[in-house]
């Protein structure tokens, strides 16, 4: 966990990350499943719920490789 000026970042590390190929559909589905479980069962939000302003409840997956791309458009999976 790390705090930022306008949000908190909690990282859940996974062994694999989608590479963008069509073969990644099953892996992407598993990653989304982890995110949905965290959002709904741990944070207590219903699917699709979102708070306004700096307390947005987006749960997103960003691979370590993509997170190194500061200021560039990185591929994110948003739940």
> Is the per-residue pLDDT at 41 higher than 80?
yes
Domain segments of the chain: what residues? Answer: 2-78
Question: pTM for the full model?
Answer: 0.68
> Is the per-residue pLDDT at 43 higher than 60?
yes
% the chain with pLDDT above 70: 82
More confident residue, 24 or 71: 24
> Is the per-residue pLDDT at 73 higher than 60?
yes
Judged on CB neighbours under 10 Å (0-12, 13-18, 19+), 21 is exposed
Alpha helices in 1-79 (DSSP H): 25-37, 64-67
In angstroms, the CA 71 to CA 79 distance is 22
């Amino acid at each position: 966990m790390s705090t930022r000026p306008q949000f908190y970042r909690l990282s859940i590390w996974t062994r694999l990350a989608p590479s963008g190929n069509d073969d990644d559909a099953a892996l992407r589905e598993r990653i989304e499943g982890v995110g949905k479980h965290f959002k709904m069962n741990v944070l207590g939000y219903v699917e699709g719920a979102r708070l306004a302003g700096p307390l947005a409840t987006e749960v997103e997956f960003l691979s370590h490789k993509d997170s190194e791309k500061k200021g560039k458009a990185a591929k994110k999976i948003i739940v």
